[in-house]
Each structure stands twice: as C-alpha cells, then as structure tokens.
Structure 1
Amino acid sequence: MRWWRAVGLSLVVTLIGMAEIAYGHGPGLFKPTIAQLALVLVGAGALLVRQRYPRAVVAVTVLCGAALPAFPPHLVLADVPAMVALYTLALQAGRRTAAAYGAVAVVLLTGSSMWWLPGHLFDIRNVLPLNYVVAAVAIGDSVRNQRKLLAQERRRAAEAERDRAAEARRQVREERVRIARDLHDVVAHHITLVNAQAGVAHHLLRTDPDRAYQALAGIKDTSRVALDELRATVGLLRADDEPDNRQPAPTFAGLDALLDGFRQAGLDVRVTRAGAPRPLTGTADLAAYRIVQEALTNARKHGGGGTVDLDLTYSGDTLDVTLTNPAQPGVRGPGTGHGMIGMRERAESAGGRFTAGATTGTFVVQVSLPLAAGSETTR
C-alpha cells in the first residue's frame, strides 16, 4: 500500500472515532477527554503499519477499544480501528488466525462494556462487538478467497497460454521435419534419375544418338517435375500474403507415372498386384507414394543390380507393399540413413508398420498401410 493511502485511512478512522465520541452522549457536541483522544489516536495510528504487522495491530486496536469505555462518560460505539485491523488480518493470515483473534476481540470488547451498561449482561448493546467483529473477519476472508481464486485463474490462463505456445512450437517442429523429409525425398529421387539418365545419354551419345536424345528428353521432363515439386514444397514456407504457387501433393494413384520415370532411367521395375485396389487414408496415401519413391531411389543408387520387384497386396483393411532388389556385397542390417528414417516415420505417422533389411544378397523393404474405412472393394 502506498504511504498516502495508509495515512489517509488513519485520518479517516481518527475522524470517525472523534465523531462517535462527540455525538455519542446527549444533545450537542461532547468534548473528548485526553485519555479518550489518546486511545483514538493510538488505535488509528497503529493502522499505519497494519500491512506489515497485522497481528500486533489487531492487539493494539482491540486493547484501545476495550479500554475506551473505562473512561467516562461511557460510550457504546463501533470500534472502527479494530474492524480495519481484523479485516486486514483475515485478508493476510487466513480464516483460522482471524477467527482466533476475532474471538479474543469479542471477549475483550464485550466484557469491557458489560460492567458499566445499565442492563449489564442483559443489555442488547452487548451484541454490538460480536456483530462488527464477525462482519470484519467475514469480509476479509471473503476478499482473500476471491483474490486467491483470481490468482488461480490467472495462473491457469498463463499455463494454458504456455501450453498453447508449446503446442504451436511442437507443430512447427513437426511441420519443419515433414517439409525437410519431403525435400529429401524430392531431391534424392529426381537427382538420382537425372544422374542415371545423364549417364545413359553420355554412354549412347556416339553409338546410338536416338536413344541418347530420348535420355536427354527424360532429363528435361524429370528436372521439370523436380522443380514443380520443389516449388510446391517450398511454397509451404511462404507467408499468407505471398503469391501461392503450390501444386497438389502426389498420391499413390500416380504410381505408374513414378515407375515410368525410373524405367526411363534404366531401372527395371517389375510390379505384381494382388487383391482389388482400394483407396488409402489421407496420410497413408502420400506416405505410400513417398516410401515407394524413396525405396526405388535407394535401389537405383545403392542396389547391386538394375531390377526391383514391387509387390502390392490389398487384403482386409491394409495395403502391403514389398520392394525387393539385389543388395551390394557386404550390405548388412536394415540401414540407418535419412531415407530409411524418413520412410519409417512416414509409415508410423500414417498408422502403419515398416521394416527393411538385407538378407541373402537381397534388400527388402516392407510396409503395411491402412486403407480408407468404409471403402468398397472394386471388382
């Protein structure tokens, strides 16, 4: 509390105490005695430090209020300094402490006035100290509870804001990982095809110009598709007010075009299909395309031969994809490159399963992805 508020409160309490004495006895104004004036000033002055020493201030104000009726002429009045002190104590110390001090205050203030009242024990004015003490403690406790609830709501709001910020940061991190994974898939796939087609063109340029020309045309088409996909992926990073130049994300329905690109690069892809084709879930659709794309890219770059067997099996509510290609000598284990990590993350994020590894001279990639619920089997 600012110093001027404390001083102003003490002055107001002093004026109230003087007014109660001046107007509390007979007609006209009554001049307070030195003792009455001293007790009023001490009680009001103690309120200057009520925030720092609430218990001591309650004790001082209650003792002053209990001593005031001992100096004639006798008065029955509301002890305002004690009410303010008890309110402050209930506000700071809590209900139990305020109730204990309030009980002592009721006993002292009631007892100090009972002995001189005409009816003594049976005078109705004996209940006045009880009334204003209970009111002061109850109001202070109520305000304390309201402030506590308000503080809790503010903490909850701050925690909710921190949670929202953390969730937003997590989503940003996941989006960055997804975009980085897409960039890796696009660049690795198309650069591998361009490199393979360039090698074919270089090899056939003198001996078979027509096939070399076809390989160069394939390089042109592959690079154009790569640029389109890079623009679509990088376009996700643009601000909302920038021109939107996004292309649709590839889907598993474009598998044949993907395989044709690899075949033009010299990779012999043999496809086996079992079961009636059915649509995949939204996330699994893109995941299936990217996983096949990455697996074929790895087979072209690291495989021990120029052939890949691709098996597609639709059964129940899953699509099982198996890619098998000859492995280079000495290849062991499932592989730990970024491509393998990306394929595994794509499959798991779509609710599927992914395994990969080299066995008996071949490298096998297997993935199971969920089909769209409620889709009808095509006959």
Structure 2
Amino acid sequence: MNRFVRWARTHPLALDATLALGVLLCMVAGSFVDPHGPEGTYAWGARTPNVLSLVLMLLGAAALVFRRRAPLCVLAATSAVSVVELVTGDPRAPVVMSAVVALFTVAATTDRPTTWRVGLASMAVLTGVAMFAGPLPWYSQENLAIFAWTGMAAAAGDAVRSRRAFVTAIRERAERAERTREEEARRRVAEERLRIARDLHDVVAHHIALVNVQAGVAAHVMDRRPDQAKEALGHVREASRSALNELRATVGLLRQTGDPEAPTEPAPGLERLDDLVDTFRHAGLPVEVARVKDAPALPAAVDLAAFRVVQEALTNVQKHAGSDARAEVSVVRVGPNVEITVLDNGPGATAAYGDHPRDPEEPEANGGHGLLGMRERVTALGGALTAGPRYGGGFRVHAILPTKARTSGTDPAEGANTSEDATI
C-alpha cells in the first residue's frame, strides 16, 4: 500500500487515467443492467446501450483524465455529456457517474464557498434536466439517485479537502515547533558560551596581568633586594593560585552528568572587593575605595556583574595607565540602581587601553574584548555602561546596574542568592 501511495504521488496523470478507465467500465457495465427487473430485482443483460450512449460514456471518462489540471472545466464537460444522455437516452446509461467524480474533484481541490456554489448548481441542473426533460417520470428513482449522488460527491470532496488541510496544518505546526526548539537551544548555547567566555576573560586578564607585573618586579630587584623579590614571587604564587581556583570553578560548569561534583564555592561578588583591591595594591597600583559598609546583599547576577566590572577596569588601569597611575573605585546606591565608577589618572585619550581603546565607540579596534564583555554583562541585566577619557587626563568607566535586574538567560550565579529583591 505504501508503495502504491508513493507511485500515485509521483504519477498523478497515470492514476487519473486508471480511474477514468475504471469509471468507463462501471458506466458500460451499468448500461446493461435494468433496475426494473422481475419482482423489483436488477436484470443483467435485459437492455443494451445505443451508440450515442457509448460515445457519451467514452467522452465523459476521457475528460476525467484531466480532472486535476482543470477540475472546473472537466466538471462542465462531464455535466454537458450527462445532460445530453439524460435527455436522449432511452434506456438511460449512467453517464452522470463521470459528472459525480468530477464534482468530487472540484470539492476536494477548491475551497468551501466554491464547493457550495458549484455543487448546488450541478445538483440543480442535472436533477432538473432529469426530472423535467428526460423520458422517465419526474418521480422515478433514477432521478432521485442523481440528486443523492451529486450531493454525496460534493460532501465527500469537501470532507477530503478539510482533512488534507488539517493534516497539513498539523505538520506545519510540528515543523514550526521543531524549528523553534532548535533556535531556542542554539540561542541558549550561544548565551552560555558568551557568559563563560566573559568569565574566562575576566579571570585570566586580571590574574595574568598581576603575575606579569610581580614577575617583572621580582626580576628587577632579584640581585639587589632579594627580600623584595621573594615578596613579589609570593604575590605571583597567590595570584596564580587564585586564577587556577576561579578557572576550575568556571570550567566546572561544563561538566556532564556523572562527572565529579563541580565546585560549590559561590560566585565572586562585592563582598570580595577588598581582597580584589588588595591584589592590585600589592602589585603597586594605589587604589582608593568608597562604598557603604554592611550594605544589604545584591541579587547574585548584579553582584557578580559589579565585581567583574571593577576587576576588568582595574586590570586595564594596571596594564595600560602607566607606572604612576592611581585608581579610584566607588560603589553607591542611587535610587533603584547601583552605580559603579572606576577612575584613573593615566594618559587618557592619548593612548589605548589594550582591551578597550580610549575611543569608547571602537571597543574592538585592537582586538580586545574587555569593554565589550563589560557592556554585555551590564546590558544583559538591563543596565548601562559608559567608558571614555576624562577631561584633563585619565579614563573613566561608569556602570549603572538595576537592583531588580532582568536577565536574558539563566546564570548559574543566580542560585547563590535567595533574595532577588535585595538592595544595597
């Protein structure tokens, strides 16, 4: 059966020709049957069709070969030969069978209004001609059969069309749902990759910058002041240990089911700001911090974003603002928002901050991603970030984070805080 269905779909004209041949055989066979046989039975061979009836049956069946290409024209042709047979045929041959098949095709391939109009017109014409212009009495069962068969053909064709439309709609809905699921999965994967990339960048850029500075100090004073070199190497060891711990925590998010348990240390936040600032101070960067002590905890996503903004901004000051640079960090509550500001007295607009150029409109001019990553973090929470040169020299990074932040995706850090409405 499946093979036949595939063949029928690929050879519609051959299928219609086979159907036309079957209808022709049925019409010819029916023309030899007398419905008014003895004792109300059908008598086979009691009558024979004339030549005109055979020609009309052949024309009606031939028209059905083209029923898919021009259904309305085929219906008109088969109705015409049926009308001729209804008026002249005595005994009558069942040429109207071709019109019934053509009416079914019209109903199955067009819309419902067309089916109603064409179906009623065909029923009225064929039944009216048979009743009032044919050789049989108007109340004969043959005339009533024409009315019934044309009505059933229109109804059956409309049902087939509705079924096809329903199946097509279900298939399209399923395909659309599948595409939506795939797009949503790709979107979530892309968001997670961006989030992990930002975390890795922040961790590596911060700690490697500190390691580089302290290693340079150790190499410079190794011969003359070994005690200071030893202290610098201790800072290198601490910075590298912190980098490894944070990398382990970030990569742990990529573990699969059944892997060893991922680290349970909470994501860093502003409660670790003092430790972060101390690492820069040990590296030779004077940093002043202004913030409210003992403030209520922020939502986890906001707390992490604030920490990363300060970390990245201070890392860029350490790397690019010069050996005499100083930095100022402020964390203040302004209405429903938390504002993070990092200032430095570096060269300002005369030089570029590797990861974010001094021109804030070209964040990737030198291939860096620091400013871009900060801006992505802040905007994902519904905030805003500006970065640019200060008047008179230096650079300024300013982030505004809403305390009731919206997030564009699921962040694992969100599970570290149970109060989404906490404010500073």
Corresponding residue number in structure 1 for 2:379: 348
Trace 1:4-83 onto structure 2 (pairs within 5 A).
5-21=15-31, 22-27=33-38, 28-29=43-44, 30-35=46-51, 36-69=53-86, 70-74=88-92, 79-83=96-100
Trace 1:232-311 onto structure 2 (pairs within 5 A).
232-237=249-254, 245=262, 248=265, 249-274=267-292, 276-304=294-322, 305-311=324-330
Where in structure 2 are there 5+ consecutive unaligned residues? Answer: 1-7, 352-357, 364-368, 405-419
1:360 aligns with 2:392: yes
CA–CA distance in structure 2, aligned partners of residues 302 and 126 of structure 1: 100
Per-residue deviation, 1:296: 0.8
Per-residue deviation, 1:322: 2.1
SS at the partner of 1:206? coil
1:152 aligns with 2:169: yes
1:371 aligns with 2:403: yes
CA contact (8 A) 2:67 2:105 kept: yes
- How many residues in Structure 1 have an aligned counterpart in Structure 2? 375
Quick one: which amino acid aligns to residue 215 of structure 2?
A: A
Per-residue deviation, 1:43: 2.6
Corresponding residue number in structure 2 for 1:166: 183
Quick one: which amino acid aligns to residue 295 of structure 1?
A: A
Deviates more, 1:290-299 or 1:31-40: 31-40
Trace 1:173-192 onto structure 2 (pairs within 5 A).
173-192=190-209
Deviation string, structure 1 residues 89-139 (Cα, Å, up to 9, x no partner)? 22224345444544146314531443345644x667644433322322232
* Equivalent of residue 115 in structure 1, options 124, 133, 151: 133
SS at the partner of 1:359? coil
Deviation string, structure 1 residues 20-51 (Cα, Å, up to 9, x no partner)? 43142323322322333443344334323322
CA–CA distance in structure 2, aligned partners of residues 261 and 275 of structure 1: 20
Quick one: which amino acid aligns to residue 312 of structure 1?
A: V
Residues 254/179 of structure 1: CA separation in 2 closer, same or farther (3 Å cut)? same
Deviates more, 1:266-275 or 1:99-108: 99-108
Corresponding residue number in structure 1 for 2:407: none
Quick one: which amino acid aligns to residue 72 of structure 1?
A: D
Where in structure 1 are there 5+ consecutive unaligned residues? Answer: none
Deviation string, structure 1 residues 232-255 (Cα, Å, up to 9, x no partner)? 434545655665655643233222
CA contact (8 A) 2:209 2:319 kept: yes
CA–CA distance in structure 2, aligned partners of residues 329 and 127 of structure 1: 98
Per-residue deviation, 1:327: 1.7
CA contact (8 A) 1:228 1:247 kept: no
* Equivalent of residue 87 in structure 1, options 104, 116, 122: 104
CA–CA distance in structure 1, aligned partners of residues 297 and 244 of structure 2: 28
CA–CA distance in structure 2, aligned partners of residues 34 and 327 of structure 1: 110
Sequence identity percentage? 40
CA–CA distance in structure 2, aligned partners of residues 73 and 330 of structure 1: 106
Residues 278/359 of structure 1: CA separation in 2 closer, same or farther (3 Å cut)? farther
RMSD (Å), alpha carbons: 3.1
CA contact (8 A) 1:106 1:133 kept: no
CA contact (8 A) 2:130 2:143 kept: no
CA contact (8 A) 2:47 2:91 kept: no
Deviation string, structure 1 residues 246-282 (Cα, Å, up to 9, x no partner)? 5643233222222222222122222222365122223
Residues 344/89 of structure 1: CA separation in 2 closer, same or farther (3 Å cut)? same
Deviates more, 1:228-237 or 1:213-222: 228-237
Q: TM (normalized to structure 1)?
A: 0.85
Trace 1:309-324 onto structure 2 (pairs within 5 A).
309-324=328-343
SS at the partner of 1:52? coil
Per-residue deviation, 1:345: 2.0
1:133 aligns with 2:133: no
Residues 68/251 of structure 1: CA separation in 2 closer, same or farther (3 Å cut)? same
CA–CA distance in structure 2, aligned partners of residues 116 and 156 of structure 1: 52
Deviates more, 1:261-270 or 1:335-344: 335-344
CA contact (8 A) 2:331 2:341 kept: yes
CA–CA distance in structure 1, aligned partners of residues 250 and 230 of structure 2: 30
Per-residue deviation, 1:194: 0.3
CA–CA distance in structure 2, aligned partners of residues 362 and 334 of structure 1: 12
CA–CA distance in structure 1, aligned partners of residues 115 and 383 of structure 2: 63
CA contact (8 A) 1:62 1:105 kept: no
